[in-house]
Amino acid sequence: MSERRLIDLPIPPEAARQRVDRFVADRAGLSRTFVQRLISGGHLTMDGQVVRASSTLTPGGVLHLEIPPVAETTLNAEDIPITVVYEDEDIVVVNKPAGLVVHPAPGHATGTLVNALLHHVEELPGIAGVARPGLVHRLDKDTSGLLIVAKGDLAQSSLMAQLKARRVKKTYLALVQGAVAAEVGRIEAPIGRDPLERKRMAVVAGGREATTGYRVRERFAGWTLLEVDLVTGRTHQIRVHLTEIHHPIAGDPTYGNGTSRRGPEGLTRLFLHAWRVSFTHPRDGRLMRLEAELPPELLAPLDALRLASSRSEG
């Protein structure tokens, strides 16, 4: 079992009209869902009284949040090879390959990145449950690239607070179908469950706010390579947004059409890679900027497109 944590949260005047769960989540650097569970369990108090989610914040008061010990995980450490891009006493940044599930879930109890991390790092903090030790964000199974993992409470709180404040900059490389007209663009469209197919996400009225920025990096016949900035972090956001503007990602079996699903010759997977991440180091405040170049299975079809382009120009 991990140790019980107590966090004191002074309430400033400007917080008077905020929702309790949102205020606590932002100040404690925790997910709102996790905070809601803590509040429901009576773990938020002020002046010895339990604070409910519907309570009104009183400026000048101090909230006391108790985070109970995280139950011992039944997850097994597995000797799964992982590529470490950066590591110190606080964080480890890995380059996740496509096809590797990030954390255990129904149907994927073993063989995940978490299982690999438990082998690589002796102790990882529990975050909002035992199944995701150390994780503060995630990547889809079919997406490769950089993933930041906290190795302690300090890093966990700092990174989650940075993510909530949108101070972690994540840039992806995506090959999309067609000629993207604008060299630079921004997509702002709410995302929620597809009402016709619940396993998919879609742009829907009343969905969660979602913003994606992009820049054209290279152009080819029938395809465009983009640098994509993930401003918000909704499920399948990049894939949904690029499909919404009629430029689905190459190799996407879920959101693409016939041509984009096949992708250019030689492509065998989704062409989406978390290429660069920038954030503030949780201990000393220095700017961290890390990159992971495209893996061979994405470089090969891209080089083929470049070769075809140079031949046509010649």
C-alpha of 106 from chain center:
20
Q: Identify residue 303 by its one-letter amino acid code.
A: D
Helix (H, G, I), strand (E, B) or coil at 201: strand
Helix (H, G, I), strand (E, B) or coil at 161: helix
Q: DSSP label at 170? A: E
**Contact (CB, 8 A) for 189 and 208:** no
Helix (H, G, I), strand (E, B) or coil at 227: strand
Distance separating alpha carbons of residues 246 and 260, to the nearest angstrom? 11
Phi then psi dihedrals of residue 313, to 5 deg:
-70, -30
Assigned token pair, 82? 């992982």
Told to judge if 140 belongs to the known catalytic residues of this protein, a careful annotator would answer: yes
Distance separating alpha carbons of residues 136 and 164, to the nearest angstrom? 11
Assigned token pair, 256? 């693409």
The CA–CA distances, whole Å, from 24 to 11, 31, 35, 61, 65 equal 10, 9, 7, 13, 8
Distance separating alpha carbons of residues 180 and 84, to the nearest angstrom? 34
**Of 21, 26, 90, 140, catalytic:** 140
Residue with tokens 């930041």: 148
Residue with tokens 């140079």: 310
The CA–CA distances, whole Å, from 298 to 12, 65, 142, 163, 173 equal 50, 46, 12, 28, 10
Q: Which residues participate in catalysis according to the annotation?
A: 140
